[in-house]
């Protein structure tokens, strides 16, 4: 791809967001009921290619269980309120009452409470006892400290998630996490990210990760672009990381690493486009934060919102539109792609003529004019 001249001293690639991509229907169509959207990572099979984002406004132990029973995978944030407080419900309720000026400061104070290793174990065990696949997330900075507690509690899938995670973090203050050694010594599959470039993804794949999260700074309520200036539009990021997956498959002699799109997906159409471009599954937050059962009660925020020194997120009101089952499986009562996310994905694949997700990754896509109905919204 040729670079675009920004000025005489700088060039850059043209990158594309999901809103600029369109899926092209094929000559053959299918019955949506005959389309499979099942996804398997390591030994774990899911009826939906969907992970719920590890955010306190989205995933509690209760919603992780519900999402698991509906066919997806809920990921619990082990640095959130559920591992800092015995009963975080009053605090979750308080978040909805805060005015805009006070929200960030109060969130910082709430998350200043120390993490309890006992609560980490109890929350994971609560989800595991329900009989669903158990997934939990830590930041790279806290992974080594709490990993044994997490594994001993019975987690099935370990997620290491940060705004940007690299396989070669350099620090003069502390010994950084050696991802390759850590993953090698762990007995459970690891999903790690985010990343947004071919090179970063390839390095993460070489650590032995089962999956790589794609994206940073693009989710609802994130202000990473404004605060840090860091951004890679999601469509281009997914395509670049999918290319790394293909090349690593050859390099490793057949080891397949799953690409999971994380962020910038607020509608069913966005999810379909992320998978069409090359993702194996998606990690979503704000669409599920609008569920009646969501802990955020119509509000949504991520861990970036409570950073003690440099917040890069905000608490946003997303409202409540229906139950988790309605949002994932329908029926929908609105025409904006916010409900029946998985039913819409099946219909997209059926319209394009594909019967499963791996085939669907070969679908033709086009770049839409950003001013057209298929362009930016």
Query: Are 59 and 75 within 8 A, CB to CB?
Result: yes
Mean pLDDT for the chain? Answer: 89
Q: Average pLDDT for residues 122-127, to the nearest whole number?
A: 98
The arithmetic mean of pLDDT across residues 258-277, rounded, is 96
Work out the average pLDDT over 59-71.
Answer: 98
Angle formed by the axes of helices 268-277 and 234-251, to 10°? 30
* Residues whose CB falls within 8 Å of the CB of residue 199, separated by 6 or more in sequence, listed in order: 244
Report whether pLDDT(213) > 80: yes
Segment 282-326, tens digit of pLDDT: 999 999 999 999 999 999 997 766 665 555 567 889 999 999 999
Predicted pLDDT at 223? 58
Q: Are 279 and 242 a contacting pair, CB within 8 Å?
A: yes
Q: In sequence order, what are the residues at sequence separation of 6 or more whose Cβ sits closer than 8 angstroms to the Cβ of residue 323?
A: 291, 292, 293
User: Higher-confidence residue: 228 or 122?
Assistant: 122
Q: How far apart are the first and last CA of the chain?
A: 26
The pLDDT score that the predictor gives to residue 165 is 62
Percent residues over pLDDT 70 in the chain? 87
Residue with more model confidence, 212 or 313: 212
Would the CA dihedral through 61, 303, 322, 18 be positive or negative? Answer: negative
Q: What is the pLDDT of residue 141?
A: 87
| 2 has a pLDDT exceeding 80 | no
Q: Using pLDDT thresholds of 50, 70 and 90, give the confidence band for residue 240.
A: very high
- Which candidate, 284, 301, 291, places its Cα nearest to that of 98? 301
Contact between 257 and 245 (Cβ < 8 Å)? yes
The pTM score is 0.91
d(CA 216, CA 230): 8
| pLDDT of amino acid 225 | 61
Average pLDDT over residues 82-93: 97
């Amino acid at each position: 791809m040729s670079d675009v001249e920004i000025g005489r001293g700088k060039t850059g690639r043209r990158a594309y967001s999901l809103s600029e991509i369109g899926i092209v229907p094929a000559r053959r169509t299918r019955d949506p009921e005959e389309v499979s959207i099942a996804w398997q990572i390591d030994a774990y099979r899911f009826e939906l290619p969907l992970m719920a984002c590890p955010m306190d406004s989205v995933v509690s132990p209760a919603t992780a269980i519900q999402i698991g029973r509906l066919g997806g995978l809920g990921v619990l944030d082990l640095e959130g309120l559920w591992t800092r407080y015995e009963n975080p419900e009053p605090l979750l309720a308080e978040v909805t009452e805060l005015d805009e000026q006070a929200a960030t400061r109060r969130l910082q104070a709430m998350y200043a409470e120390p993490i309890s290793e006992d609560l980490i174990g109890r929350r994971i065990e609560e989800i595991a006892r329900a009989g669903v696949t158990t997934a939990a997330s830590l930041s790279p900075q806290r992974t080594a400290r709490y990993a044994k507690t997490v594994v001993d509690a019975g987690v099935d899938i370990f997620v290491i998630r940060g705004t940007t995670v690299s396989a070669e973090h350099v620090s003069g203050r502390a010994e950084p996490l050696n991802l390759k050694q850590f993953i090698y010594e762990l007995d459970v599959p690891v999903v790690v990210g985010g990343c947004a470039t071919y090179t970063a993804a390839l390095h993460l794949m070489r650590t032995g990760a089962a999956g790589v999260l794609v994206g940073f700074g693009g989710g609802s309520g994130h202000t990473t672009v404004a605060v840090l200036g860091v951004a890679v539009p999601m469509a281009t990021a997914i395509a670049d990381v999918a290319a790394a997956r293909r090349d690593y498959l050859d390099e490793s002699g057949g080891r397949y690493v799953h690409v999971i799109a994380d962020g910038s997906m607020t509608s069913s159409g966005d999810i379909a486009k992320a998978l069409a471009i090359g993702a194996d599954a998606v990690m979503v937050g704000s669409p599920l934060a609008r569920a009646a059962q969501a802990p955020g009660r119509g509000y949504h925020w991520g861990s970036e919102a409570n950073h003690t020194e440099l917040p890069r997120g905000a608490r946003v009101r997303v409202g409540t539109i229906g139950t988790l089952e309605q949002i994932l499986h329908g029926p929908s009562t609105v025409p904006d792609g916010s409900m029946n996310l998985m039913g819409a994905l099946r219909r997209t694949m059926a319209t394009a003529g594909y019967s499963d997700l791996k085939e669907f990754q070969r679908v033709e896509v086009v770049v839409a004019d950003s001013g057209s109905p298929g362009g930016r919204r």
